[in-house]
Amino acid sequence: MQKVKMAAGITAKIGRFNANASARLVLRQKKSTIDFEDIMNSGKILICNFSKGLLGEDVSELFGIAVLAKLQLASLRRARLNQSERRPFYLYVDEFQNFATPSFVQLLSEARKYRLFLTIAEQSTSQQDDQQMVNVILANVGTVVCFRTGNPQDERVLLP
């Protein structure tokens, strides 16, 4: 009975992606035509719009997490290159809380050695589900820019 419930849950999630035209076009491809290593190592620019209004919340999150995972893997493969051959790659992620995974946040602590420079933005630290993730982010960022906060918790976390 437990297996049937699990299968039903998975089928429902896949069905939501299959019902979305954008997701269907991407997920049904046999091979990716985007070479993330080439983008990073050749100084190319990749702009992705994962607007929830355009794609829906589930698809937006799926695509964002998938692209960040691909960029993370491409970054880790840079270990094969000499430090001097690693071209700087600047990654800007808006609404980071929607795409943050524990493995990607772990990359924050190692990103510099792969010449991956991250700028992440979110409205409030309370948007992160995991306080440990907030701690890792704050421990590994070089600069924090903060405008007016509407959440007293943010002030306690961000102010010295």
Q: Over its length of 160 residues, how does the chain's per-residue pLDDT go in tens digits?
A: 555 544 555 555 666 766 777 777 777 778 888 999 999 999 999 999 988 888 888 888 888 988 999 999 999 999 999 999 999 999 998 988 888 888 877 788 888 889 999 888 888 777 777 777 788 888 888 888 888 777 778 777 777 6
Helix axes 57-77, 2-19, angle to 10 degrees: 90
Q: Which residues does 63 contact at the CB level (< 8 Å), separation at least 6? A: 23, 26, 48, 50, 55
| pLDDT score recorded for residue 149 | 77
Domain boundaries defined on the chain: 1-31, 33-158
How many Cβ atoms are within 10 Å of 96's Cβ, its own excluded? 22
| pLDDT score recorded for residue 6 | 46
Q: Are 124 and 93 in contact (CB under 8 A)?
A: no
Cα–Cα distance for residue pair 64/14, rounded to 1 Å: 17
pTM of the model: 0.77
Q: What share of the chain is helix, strand, coil (3-state, %, to 5)?
A: 60, 5, 35
The one-letter amino acid code at 25 reads L
How many Cβ atoms are within 10 Å of 46's Cβ, its own excluded? 13
| pLDDT score recorded for residue 47 | 93
